[in-house]
Amino acid sequence: MIDVPDRLALLPVEVAAKMLTPAVLEGREGMPFAAIDKVSTPTGRRSAPIRSLIDETIRRFAENRTDSDAWLAPRLHATLRLTRAEASDPALWNHLAMRIAPDYVAWRFPGRGHGEGRLQKINRNRFVGPFDAQGFTRLWWAAELFRDGCDYTPVLTACGHQDVLNTILGLRITLHRPTAQALLRMVAGGVAVTSKEVNVLAQAVNAAATTLVYEALAPDSPRDHDASRDWMDDSNGVFVPFDSLPEGPDDGEAPATSVRDLVELFMDIYRDAPTRVSASR
């Protein structure tokens, strides 16, 4: 059990990166907690709720670590209530991954060995890396970009398919809510199921965005920022259920007509994709 500090903190990228030596990444040395504490700036956010989520995740998904993504993502988002600006600061995620829950990172991303009998090395991007690769940011942003207002159900589809996380999450087109929801409906509806199919869908729709303006073809509705602020005001002391989905900020859903129109458009784009693979189910 890790003795975690009471508060989440900010750990600068340049400092965090230097601490991730080969010996640490290979598990030959422990994470330098004392050094991390000296250079981190505490925030007002409690660490205990996050640590509780991590412990439950590891307990529940001991037999299938990949399945934990869909369970943890909405609960992480609902527990750690951040604005997008706050979530864009890697210093918070560095601290979470390296000081609060490095055991989760090692458990979820054990790395690949360098040969029989050799130590496995964790990819440093899982501790300090891009938002769609770092161990916790990938889940928080998946929940943020793929939720439909207060409904986290679409997040289960997104995080239940590793190719959505690995390919679609990193595309700028997912910032447009109707686009994100349309892509997920195609995955959930069985249009794109295999890894190759999801990758072809993502590439085709993203390429078409260079000539088609999805925001104009399928307008989004304005968000209710007051509802978002009210939801974030409950960031400390909020109860997040383990056996049912939490509720996200009730800031409005993507317009149903816009999502439907984009599904029809994306179906045509996908059918015409020159590299489309035939279904292999």
Domain boundaries, the chain: 6-111+122-147
pLDDT of the chain, 281 residues: tens digit per residue: 789 999 999 999 999 999 999 999 999 999 999 999 999 999 999 999 999 999 999 999 999 999 999 999 999 999 999 999 999 999 999 999 999 999 999 999 997 654 455 568 999 999 999 999 999 999 999 999 999 999 999 999 999 999 999 999 999 999 999 999 999 999 999 999 999 999 999 999 999 999 999 999 999 999 999 999 999 887 656 789 999 999 999 999 999 999 999 999 999 999 988 644 343 33
Report how far residue 68's alpha carbon sits from residue 56's, in angstroms, rounded to the nearest whole number: 10
Q: Which pLDDT score is estimated for 117?
A: 53
DSSP per-residue codes, 185-249: HHHHTTSS-SHHHHHHHHHHHHHHTTT--HHHHSPPPPP-HHHHHHHHTT-SS----SSS-----
Q: Which amino acid is at 166?
A: N
Q: What pLDDT does 274 receive?
A: 65
Separation between Cα atoms, residue 231 and residue 227, nearest integer Å:
6
- Give CA separation, 208 vs 58, 86, 201, 215, in Å: 40, 31, 11, 13
pTM, to two decimals: 0.93
Give the pLDDT of residue 279.
37
